[in-house]
Each structure stands twice: as structure tokens, then as C-alpha cells.
Amino acid sequence: MSFVLILACLWVLAATAVAMLPMRYQFVPGFGLLIAAILLIGVIFYEHGWVFGGLALFGFVSMFRRPLLYYGRKALGLHVESDAAEQRE
């Protein structure tokens, strides 16, 4: 197994550990993981091709779907609701 795939496995473990933290402590390490994931997926695409890169991208989007939807809607100027408002409906 290549070094970049080992780093990807360690990234998944770190993301899982951060997800277990209370929400107020997740922002800073979560943002760091978000930036690291972009770089890591790029290297996976470069070294291993589109199949492994696509799998890594799919896993990343699966884990970060809520923040990506939130910031995507915010960037497009669409209405952004909080999770608390969505849960009340």
C-alpha cells in the first residue's frame, strides 16, 4: 500500500475521532481535515488514477455532506437554514 493511501486511512480515523467530539469543538479540527482532504484526494488522483481518486472523493463527500451543502448554498446566495430549524419541521 502506498504512503498516500496510508495517510488517507489515518485521515478517516482522525475524521471519525473529530466527529465524536462535542459540536463546539469540531470546527477547528474539522476545517483542518477539510483542507487536508482536498490535498490528499488530489494526490490520490495523481498517483493512483481516477478509480481510487473517485472512491476517495465519494467518501469525502459522504462524510462532509452537511458542511458542503451549507457552504455551497451560502456561496450561491441561497437561503440557509440552521439544523435546529430543519429538525422542528
CA distances from 60 to 16, 30, 66, 68 (A): 12, 12, 11, 10
Report the pLDDT averaged over residues 30-54. 93
| Low-confidence winner among 26-30, 47-51, 70-74, 82-86 (lowest mean pLDDT) | 82-86
pTM of the model: 0.72
- pLDDT over 60 at 87, yes or no: no
Per-residue 3-state assignment (H helix, E strand, C coil) for 15-73: HHHHHCCCHHHCHHHHHHHHHHHHHHHHHHHHHHHHHHHHHHHHHHHHHCHHHHHHHHH
